[in-house]
A and B are shown apart, each in its own frame.
Chain A
């Protein structure tokens, strides 16, 4: 397959311009408006003209083509560079449409390619037309899925986010609830940069208007909470608007976003498993989020691995089986030994409580109260963290669960494991516990079996790979024999 070199869409010049200017727009404007001499406009004009020329040249010199099974990208105004990527090393093609692209009817194509070892190289075509983007994706990925059938199956919709679900998801997600705090932080930072007199005046005026009586304070608090909830719901709607997950047989394709529309395609052959994630709040409403574990999906960045940002529990079970028919999301897990409980308590209770006692001794009443309260809350938290620990291997899939505030249930194909490690701290050694770490490779990260007994670890490892582990295991063989 060979084709003539193509250029990016001519409007890519605008996209280039926005990218270049993005960082320097403010200084340029400041210079333009504060320059006292009469040079401001001419200087600005020259800068714009030179800049535009450079950008147009950049656009002219940027070409791409698919040639004898390789993607070839040539670029560079002063220094010419050529990048060649064999199509069979391409792991994924994402189409992204930030707001400017959407206005202009363009998409940005991000090509993810395997690049030796663990790193992944990313090539970006800054702006092509939407049709060209789709065509490129099909052409670039067709080499990966060689036995692509002639009659493509109609894409099956596995999940579709309704606004109601997304609102519920935003309201129950720590990420979106806490996001407004981050915004306030940013604004506060900006306020620091404002002329101090202005900032102080605004602050004192605001302070004058803050009500001090009980009714006023509670009204203010209620308004604040209401605003935070509205913002959380809006954040969820914005990022995951009309999230849709489809399955065309070879690939899982997720589309989402209101302003920036994002498309992520994941080769089914690279799927190694998935996570079901929830929090106590989501558990109360019977909601979970589903994320894929797959090689070559940009280091498992949450934005790229989401299969369903928020989904009802029962639907998640159906979705799980559609992604991996061998997954067993309802199977009972094997619990970890009781010795794991003191470790959870030590982390959640003993540390804040000890700090609280120190604070008490130093007569720092407020920190002491907060820390002791944290220690108290830590008790049920530690109990739940212990209760959630578990794993199960049924011969096909490994299921692992851990966490409470952020609980994660993982289903994993053990054939995806690249290397195994067993880790044991002195504290674990005393209780006969250890942690198994399974490294997955190609940016899929690792998963662990936390605080299982040494016997469980041995039995699990041998079950995962009998020929590999049998020579190394000392006691399982004798334990398996009848006494």
Chain B
């Protein structure tokens, strides 16, 4: 690509966060499968139970595979950087996207902490612009890094803190 990669990486712990997220979805799929297949088996519908178990099981397996692979790949392929004039974020491996948001166009800078993020001690930063789709976010940052990032973005964007 003609743009160079942004310089900074996320906190390595973000891989655990993503793995946990996918893992939870996988567990959900497994529980759902069991919840459907077990009553079928009890009702003597063995064939149906086997089909459901096979389909649900393979979905859960794929999700587990994603939980193992996706965080490593995405972590390696997620970079961000702040220049004098803009925020530059590059993400994704096969479907890749480079976003550049000029500081002058930033309307709000927020930090978000979901329950999973909190348990790992991570913070994500979200930036919005006057265009609903024009914003971006940087997940999985160390709180100190995130605070510094928010402060710098807010300062460069000319936003008062605490809004």
Residues of A within 8 A of B (CB): 116-118, 295, 418-426, 429, 434, 439-442, 444, 446, 454-455, 457-458, 461, 465, 467-469, 471-476
**Partner of A465 from B2, B102, B108 at Cβ < 8 Å:** B102
Q: Is B107 in contact with A117, judged by CB distance below 8 angstroms?
A: yes
Q: Are B95 and A425 in contact (CB under 8 A)?
A: yes
CA A420 – CA B131 in complex, angstroms? Answer: 11
- The reply to whether A118 and B2 contact each other, CB–CB distance below 8 Å, is no
Contact of A418 with B100 in the complex, beta carbons under 8 Å = no
Query: Does A446 lie within 8 Å of B100, measured CB to CB?
Result: no
- Contacting pair B134 A439 (CB below 8 A): yes
Binds A, one of B39-47, B62-70, B81-89, B111-119: B81-89
Would A441 and B102 count as touching, CB distance under 8 A?
Answer: no
The smallest C-beta distance from A430 to any residue of chain B, in angstroms, reads 11
B144 at the interface (CB under 8 A from A): no
The contact of B128 among A117, A458, A469, A476, by CB within 8 Å, is: A117
Given A117-B108, A426-B94, decide whether A420 and B1 contact each other with a Cβ distance below 8 A: no
Residues B2 and A455 in contact, CB atoms below 8 Å apart: yes
Q: A441-B129, A468-B100 are in contact. Are A419 and B134 (CB under 8 A)?
A: yes
| Nearest CB of chain A from residue B21's CB, rounded to whole Å | 23
Shortest beta-carbon distance from B47 to chain A in Å:
26
Q: Which residues of A contact B96 (CB under 8 A)?
A: 423-424, 429
| Contact for B100 among A117, A420, A429, A455, CB less than 8 A | A420
Contact A419 B129 (CB under 8 A): yes
Give the docked Cα–Cα distance between A474 and B108 (Å): 30
A-facing mask of B1-23, CB < 8 A → 1, else 0?
11110100000000000000000
Q: Is the interface of A mostly helix, strand, loop or mixed?
A: mixed
> Which residues of chain A are within 8 angstroms of B133 by Cβ–Cβ distance?
439, 446
**Once bound together, how far apart are the Cα atoms of A173 and B6, in whole Å?**
46
Check if B130 is an interface residue, CB within 8 A of chain A. yes
State the Cβ distance, B109 to closest chain A Cβ, in Å. Answer: 13
Closest residue on chain A to residue B133 by CB atoms? A439
- Collect the chain A residues with CB atoms within 8 Å of residue B136's CB: 419
The residue on A at minimum CB distance from B103 is A468
C-beta contact mask, B122-151 vs A, less than 8 Å → 1, else 0? 000000111111111000000000000000
CB distance from B17 to the nearest CB of A (A): 24
When the two chains form their complex, are residues B3 and A473 in contact, meaning their CB atoms are under 8 A apart? yes
In Å, the complex CA distance between A474 and B128 comes to: 27
Chain B, Cβ-Cβ closest to A454: B2
Residues of chain B within 8 A of A465, CB atoms compared: 102
Rounded to whole Å, the gap between the CB of A313 and the closest CB of chain B is: 32
Partner pick for A454 among B1, B107, B134, CB 8 A cutoff = B1
Additional A-B contacts beyond A441-B129, A441-B134 (15; CB < 8 A): A118-B128, A118-B130, A118-B131, A118-B132, A419-B131, A420-B100, A421-B100, A424-B95, A441-B131, A461-B100, A465-B102, A467-B84, A468-B86, A468-B100, A471-B83
Q: Which residue of B lies closest to A426 (CB)?
A: B94
Which residues of the partner chain B approach A423 to less than 8 Å between Cβ atoms?
95-97
Q: Say yes or no: B100 contacts A419, CB within 8 Å.
A: yes
**Please, which residues of chain A bring their CB within 8 A of the CB of B88?**
472
Contact of B4 among A439, A454, A467, A472 (CB under 8 A): A472
Given A458-B2, A473-B3: A418 and B130 interface contact (C-beta under 8 Å): yes
In-complex Cβ contact of A419 among B6, B83, B95, B102 (8 A) = B102
Residues of A within 8 A of B135 (CB): 419
Asked if residues B95 and A475 are in contact (CB atoms below 8 Å), the reply is no
**Leading 10 A-B pairs by shortest Cβ distance:** A441-B130, A458-B2, A439-B134, A419-B134, A118-B132, A474-B4, A439-B131, A441-B131, A419-B101, A422-B98
Q: How far is the CB of B114 from chain A (nearest CB, A)?
A: 21
| Of A439, A440, A469, most B-chain CB atoms within 10 Å | A439
Cross-chain contact B99 with A421 (CB below 8 angstroms): yes
Residue B105 CB within 8 A of the other chain: yes
Which single residue of chain A is at the shortest CB-CB distance from B136? Answer: A419
For residue A471, give the distance in angstroms from its CB to the closest CB of chain B: 5
**What residues of chain B lie closer than 8 Å to A442, measured between beta carbons?**
130-131
Residues of A within 8 A of B128 (CB): 117-118
Shortest beta-carbon distance, A336 to chain B, in Å?
15
The distance in angstroms between the C-alpha atoms of A203 and B133, with both chains bound, is 50
B89 closest partner in A (C-beta): A421
CB contacts (< 8 Å) of A117 on chain B: these are: 107-108, 128, 130, 132
